[in-house]
Structure 1
Amino acid sequence: MPMEELFKFLSEQYIIPFYLIVWLAAMSRYHTYFDTPMKYYPMYLMYTFLTELLGYFIKFHDEFQVVSDSNYDWYNVIIYNIYSVISFAFFYYLYWRLVKTDKYKKWIIVGAMTSLCSYGLSLFFQDPFYSNLYYADLVASMTLLFVIWLYFKEKRNETHPQPMKYNLMFWTSLGLVVFHVFFPYLILIGYEAPKIWVQYRLRSILWVLILFMYGSFLIGVLTHKRRAFR
């Protein structure tokens, strides 16, 4: 990548290098959570980074196009649809491993299956190569918020000598909650009311939410204590 393009990339796509920074921080402290349900966390972070990097190349380099229609050769939405399914599945699995109540575990499984079915149904109405499966994203986000609520509900009844601010899952959950409270509705507006998306610069709000979520992830991996995990 030429220096001019690299500078433009870093200045306009600064979120992508930030993903890499979070991954590096997570790897540097991997020894503190490698034997917990979060052991696959660095893989998720690297997958996020590679997805965003591939999305950039598809959008700005013709040789990386993934659709046959030359009018839409910059469309990279398919990789984000795949990412959504894998990402939600990862977090459902993570919280399923964390909660101890059998009833909550069953509810998480039901929620995960419902979300998966919503993505399957969306394929009958939306082309995943040309559109975000935003209705399925809405179902999956609401399900994830419910799952996180179950986790905190269970945590509330526990006694633990370590403050929550040292719990890696607290910061991870905080970032996820703030992001997914708004994310599906922003994407819905982007497709169903594009004039509002442009007028109110909602893309910038989405980027702020992403930065907050991964900033929360970064704080978690840097400040957490092994004994406070759960």
Structure 2
Amino acid sequence: METILDILKNTYLTLYVSVFLISLIKFPLYKHTTLRLLPIILFLTMVTEYLGYFLKDIIYDIPLNKFIYNLYYLIHFSFFFYIFMKVIENDRFKKNIKIGLVVFWLIFLSDVVFTGIFENSFARTYIAGAAILIFCITLYYINILQSSLVLVIKNDLLFWVSVGLFLFYIGYIPIKIIRTWFYKPDSFFEILLVIQSSLIIIMYLFFLTGFLWMKKRS
């Protein structure tokens, strides 16, 4: 099991770097779109995960490590909420996403006050952010079906990014809940780690597909 986990971890850590570099190469094609800040998010994800992977035995219990991850949750989810709010044309959908964004920020602030941003990981913030993001992506898909974008969707970077995010968070939310509140160091937990690593790889392969297939939007 450890060998499989090592292979999967090395694969997704490689994908973090590869997709980030390709996002820079392809940047001229989407620099005028709402996704122009995506390379920054990919870079933050890469740095955060590399720190977590290589330094976990050294800094896991250091308050700064918790702070970095908790702050990353805020930036990551807020960015994608903003993206989908901007690209969706339906006013009612936009309003629903704004409500979701406010709810997410309130949960984050409650974790800051009652959980402590340096003391513990913001599991509630993460799960709320993931659930709201799934909701945003669902609204995005409905919006696509109601517009002409459905005809050129395979060349749209955001579509592939959204598919990757959707599949990852649909699969990872139950794992996050189990890891946070029902953790037991057994073989079942190792299987969850394999599934988690596989989900990351699938997500980044969709990101990669989006960058390779994308065309410049006018």
TM class, shorter-length? 0.7 to 0.9
Q: Distance in 1 between matches of 2:75 and 2:207?
A: 18
Paired residues, what number? 212
Alignment-derived partner of residue 185 in structure 1: 174
Percent of paired sites with the same residue: 28
**Does the 8 Å CA contact 1:134/1:184 hold for their aligned counterparts?**
no
Which residue among 185, 189, 193 is the counterpart of 1:203?
Answer: 193
State the alpha-carbon separation in 2 of the partners of residues 187 and 75 from structure 1.
21
Cα offset for 1:195?
1.9
Structure 1 stretches of 5 or more lacking a match?
1-8, 67-71
Structure 2 spans left out of the alignment, 5+ residues: 1-5
Give the counterpart of 1:220 among 189, 196, 210: 210
Which position in structure 2 is the counterpart of 1:175?
164
Residue 140 (1) aligns with residue 99 (2) = no
- Picking from 20, 38, 42, the partner of 1:41 is 38
SS of residue paired to 1:132: coil
- 1:21-67 deviation line (CA, Å, top 9, x unaligned): 1011111111111101011111111111111223235324x4xx48x
Q: Counterpart amino acid of 2:171?
A: F
AA in 1 matched with 2:184: K
Q: Which residue matches 1:27?
A: 24
Structure 2 matches for 1:105-144, cutoff 5 A?
Answer: 105-144=94-133
- Aligned partner of 1:69 in structure 2 is none
| 1:193 aligned partner, one-letter code | F
1:101 aligned residue (69, 90, 109)? 90
Largest Rg, 1 or 2: 1
Contact 1:166 1:225 in 2 (8 A): yes
AA partner of residue 105 (structure 2): L
Q: Once the two structures are superposed, what CA deviation does each residue of 1:55-93 show, in whole Å capped at 9, x if it has no partner?
A: 235324x4xx48xxxxx3599343222111110001011
The one-letter amino acid paired with 1:209 is L
- Distance, in Å, in 2 between the alignment partners of 1:73 and 1:117 is 26
What do the CA deviations read for 1:190-230 (whole angstroms, capped 9, x no partner)? 12111277524211211111111111111101111224x8x
Point out which structure has higher relative CO (alpha carbons under 8 A, 6+ apart): 2
Q: Which of 167-176 and 196-205 deviates more?
A: 196-205
RMSD across aligned positions (CA): 2.6
Code of the aligned partner of 1:85: L
Give the whole-Å Cα distance in 2 for the aligned partners of 1:210 and 1:13: 11
After TM superposition, which residue ranges in structure 1, 4 or more long, deviate above 4 angstroms?
A: 9-14
Moved more, 130-139 or 29-38: 130-139
In the alignment, the residues of structure 2 paired with residue 124 and residue 17 of structure 1 have an alpha-carbon distance, to the nearest angstrom, of 37
Alignment-derived partner of residue 58 in structure 1? 55
**Which whole-Å CA distance do the structure 2 matches of 1:158 and 1:102 have between them?**
14
| Shift of residue 166, structure 1, vs aligned partner | 1.6
Tell me the secondary structure at the aligned position of residue 55 of structure 2: helix
CA contact (8 A) 1:190 1:197 kept: no
Q: TM-score, normalised by structure 2?
A: 0.86
